[in-house]
Structure 1
Amino acid sequence: MLTPTQDRTLSFIRRYLKRRGYAPSLIEIAEGIGITSKGTAHRHVQALAEAGAIRLITGRKRGIELVDEEALSKTSLPLLGRIAAGQPIEAIAGQDRLELNDLFGPNRYALQVKGDSMIDAGILDGDLAVIERCDTADDGAIVVALIDDEEATLKRLRRLKSGRIKLIAENPGIPPMIYAAKRVRIQGVLVCQLRRYK
C-alpha cells in the first residue's frame, strides 16, 4: 500500500510524463511534491519501484517508466484489505495488489478437481488446484501422485515405516490407498486453489 506521499509522487510522475514525454529528475520530483531533499525523493521513487507502480531503468538518465496499467490489471487484482469470516472486523481499504504471477510461476500448472475425496481439506469438485511441479514432497503435503504411470490423484502423502506410500483422502468415507513406493511418482505439490462462484 502506498503512503500518501508516495501516492503524490506517483501522481506527479504521471502528470510530468504525460506533459513532457519523458520522466522527471529527482530534483524535479522533490520540487513537484513540495520537499527539498533529493534523497527523500529518491526513497519515494525506490518505494514506488518496489511496489510495482514504476520501473527503474538502470544506466539511463531519467530512467523511470510507468508500469502498463492494462498489463498490470491482467496479471494482478486489487487487494483491498481483509474481511472477517468469523466476527466482523473494521473494513479498511488498502491499495495493495494481489500479484497473480506470484501464484502462477513458470514451474506451476493447474488441474481441475473432479470428485469429493479432498472436501475436508476445503478442496471441492470443480476447484482449480495450482500445482508446483516437483518429484519429491514433504510428509503430509497434498500432492499429485501418479500411480503405475497411469492414474493421477490428488491426495495427502504419508510415508510408512515399511517404505510404502500411503495416499490419504480428506473424506472419511474414502479409505486410504497404500502402494509400494516404486509404484508412486510425485508430480507436484498443491500451492493454492481457485474456486469460481459465477
Structure 2
Amino acid sequence: MASSSEKQPSLTRRQEEIYDFLKDKILKRGYGPTVREIGNHFGIRSPNGVMCHLKALERKGLISRESNMSRAIQLTDNSQQKTVLPLLGTAVSGDPWRPDLDDETVEFGGLFQAGNRACILVRGTALGSLGIQDGDYLIVAKGATGRPESLMAGLDDRNCLIVTRVGNDGVPSNPVVPGAVPGMMSRELGVVVGVIPRFADADVAVTSATNTAHMNGHGEILEDDADDS
C-alpha cells in the first residue's frame, strides 16, 4: 500500500500512521476500527488522544465520522473503491425464487473486495431467526466449497430460498431456519460470507440495464467461511 504522505504532505507522522491503519482496516474488512482498537494498536491510552488525531484527519478532509456510532469512520478519498456485485435474484418469504433477468448489479461502496461474489435481496421475515431482515442482502461466494459449520444458500424443491449449515462431510444438509425440511436443497447458490443490513445511514445503488434505483444500506461483513480454491 502506498504511503499517504505522497498525497498528504501536511500530515504529522502519527496522523499518517493512523490514516494508513484506518485505510487498511476499511479496505480489507469493510468497516473502520473503533477508538479502542486504534488506541490499542498505537499504544495511546487515552480515548481523547485518539479522538484528537481523528478530528485532525477529519479537518484535513481525509475521513468523515458519524457521531455516536461505533466503527462509523469512512474514507473520503478514492482509495475506498466501489464494490459492484451481480444480483442473483430476490428471495421472498413463502414465494418461489425470483431470479434476476435484467443483469442487475448492486454497488456497496468500498465495503469489501468483490472477488467471485454475488448478492441476494431478501424480502420478508423468513430468515429473521438468523438476524437477516427484510431488505437485507446476503453476500455469497459462488462456486465455493463450504467449510464445516458454514452457511450455504440455495433453493429447495419448491424453488424457495433455503439456508443450511454445512456438515463435517462438506454437505449442506441441516437447515438453520425453523420449519425448514432437512436435505431438500436442490440447487446451491453459494456460501454465505456476509450480510449487508438495510439501514438509513448509507447508500446502496442498484442498477440494471433498464432502470436505476437507490436503497439505503450499511455493510457489516461476517467472517469468511468459504474456500474459494
Give the TM bin, normalised by the shorter chain: 0.3 to 0.5
Which protein has the larger Cα radius of gyration, Structure 1 or Structure 2? 1
State the TM-score, normalized to the length of structure 2: 0.40
State the TM-score, normalized to the length of structure 1: 0.45
